Structure 1
Amino acid sequence: MTFAAMQRSRSEDRRISPVFWVLLAVLGTSAWALQADYGNMRFGVFLFVVSGWMVSLCLHEYAHARTALHGGDITVGAKGYLTLNPLKYANVLFSFVLPLVFIILNGIGLPGGAVWIERSRIHGRLKHSLVSAAGPLVNVACAAVLLIPVGAGWVEGLGLVSAMSFLGMLQISAALLNFLPVPGLDGYGIVEPWLSYRTRRAIESFAPYGMLAVFVLLWQPQVNQVFFDAVRGTMDLFGVPGYLGDLGYHLFRFWVQ
């Protein structure tokens, strides 16, 4: 392969996917419709939240991949992880379908695992931790982008305010869940490099059940209450009352009267 061909291939590996541009277009259009009070408000909230959530998932996985690239895994480009194309991820079902189902069922932003990082190419415990931390930090940033304007009163219109509040609530819930040091979540990926080999081997057999255990716990009313109290408490730090997120969830489910 010539140098020019290599450069062209590398450029294509990092070119933003049309799928991502479509998601951004839906997000922007629905935001405009809500701001202008155009069309069905509840359906507009649904489109805003779904498209915004998928955009944040793409950015979440991109952050993992980009950090891994700088850490030494040069294979992420060829896998399409730098194009922000959700169809390139390892498991579309677990990364996008199931999180959307969880949002519909109980309003929780479920973290999804999608990119396959070749950890053997990355050397240094700190680099491994940063790769894992990059994703949930994106959720924190997205929450700030959504909630700061609402808390500061820069956004007008009940539809857009409630939609941004609910989407911000989802970002906070995803970040809180993902930072848990539970196998299968990014929180465990952050601390795993610092554990002894013996401890990692002992935990390894329980890894497939980590996320399942979290799901089961979240279905328990007491745990669910504590979790959402933490989410709403975090929203309060941005000056956004939790009831706006609850209202956004109600409007999001436009099929429920």
Structure 2
Amino acid sequence: MDFLNKILSVPLEQLPFYLIVLVIAFTVHEFSHAYFAYKFGDPTAKLMGRVTLNPAVHFDLLGIILLLIAGFGWARPVPVNRDNFKSPRLMGVVVSAAGPLSNFFMAVLGTFVYALLISTGVLTSISNAKVVEAIIIFFQLFGMMNFFLFLFNLIPLPPLDGYRIVEDLVPHRFRAKLQQFEQWSVFIFLLILFIPVLREHTIKPIYMMAYGLYYHFMNVFLHLM
């Protein structure tokens, strides 16, 4: 047990909650990409069975493991052929943004439900302390992790959604230069993963911003209720 605690970036007793939250977050994120791509005229994801909320279709074991160990990871990317869009660049931005925005909306919704449970006294009416603790851990993780995934995926580094958004927004003459940069993306992530000082100045600030968003919305909802 001590060995696992040292490896994982999350407390071992909270691991089941993290896994449940991440499966939901990644599934909805990738489904959103696939859904909007299909609605905009690209059948690629549909033909591969990706327009679904079945987690098994979107699950990437290595990505989940790295997220738990290193603080960031991924699901199986949704294939998108922008040539099938009527307005490839505009619709490409929407499809890319759909994933992170789905995490944002889930975070806000989860935080609202948690605030509602607190303000209505539902939590205090439950006599089983372990059940109350489980509910609290789940909703706190659900809000904070979805806010983190929202922010993290907007980083303009390949293969993250933020990079795809920038790629569709910049003039065509810059796209070739950006694509040359893609080959270095794996090395950049490995450096962030294994060099503590880089993690301290990249992943940690994103977590802090996610905490800030979570507590901001929690305070707003509790004040309104």
Unpaired segments ≥5 residues, structure 2: 1-11, 124-131, 220-225
Shift of 1:98: 2.8
Distance 1:177 1:130, change over 3 A: same
TM-score by length of 1: 0.65
Contact 2:40-2:85 at 8 Å conserved across structures: yes
The 5 Å alignment of 1:66-105 reads 66-89=35-58, 92=59, 96-105=60-69
- Give a deviation string over 1:116-141, Cα, whole Å, max 9, x none: 11222113121110010011111111
Q: Residue 167 of structure 1 aligns with which residue?
A: 142
Distance 1:238 1:126, change over 3 A: same
Q: Is 1:61 equivalent to 2:24 in the alignment?
A: no
Contact 1:137-1:175 at 8 Å conserved across structures: yes
1:171 and 1:212 map into 2 onto residues whose CA distance is 26
User: Aligned to 1:222, which of 200, 203, 215?
Assistant: 200
2:95 and 2:204 map into 1 onto residues whose CA distance is 31
The 5 Å alignment of 1:112-123 reads 112-123=75-86
Shift of 1:70: 1.4
TM-score by length of 2: 0.74
Q: Residue 216 of structure 2 aligns with which residue?
A: 237
User: Aligned to 1:128, which of 79, 92, 98?
Assistant: 92
2:30 and 2:146 map into 1 onto residues whose CA distance is 14
Identical positions, percent: 25
1:71 and 1:98 map into 2 onto residues whose CA distance is 30
The 5 Å alignment of 1:139-158 reads 139-152=103-116, 153-154=118-119, 156=123, 157-158=132-133
Give every structure 1 segment of 4 or more consecutive aligned residues whose post-TM-superposition deviation is greater than 6 Å.
Answer: none
Equivalent position amino acid for 2:41 in 1: G
- Give a deviation string over 1:211-254, Cα, whole Å, max 9, x none: 542453364353144232212211221227xxxxxxxxxxxxxx
Q: Is 1:213 equivalent to 2:188 in the alignment?
A: yes
Unpaired segments ≥5 residues, structure 1: 1-41, 241-257
SS for the counterpart of 1:76 is helix
2:23 and 2:110 map into 1 onto residues whose CA distance is 15
Distance 1:76 1:100, change over 3 A: closer
2:144 and 2:83 map into 1 onto residues whose CA distance is 35
SS for the counterpart of 1:239 is helix
1:166 and 1:209 map into 2 onto residues whose CA distance is 32
Alignment RMSD (CA, Å):
2.5
SS for the counterpart of 1:116 is coil
- Give a deviation string over 1:35-75, Cα, whole Å, max 9, x none: xxxxxxx76x5334312321221111111011001111023
2:22 and 2:68 map into 1 onto residues whose CA distance is 12
- Give a deviation string over 1:147-195, Cα, whole Å, max 9, x none: 2233452562122112221232211111111011222110111121221
Equivalent position amino acid for 1:194 in 2: L
Distance 1:54 1:222, change over 3 A: closer
Q: Count residues with an aligned counterpart.
A: 192
Contact 1:58-1:85 at 8 Å conserved across structures: yes
Q: Residue 34 of structure 1 aligns with which residue?
A: none
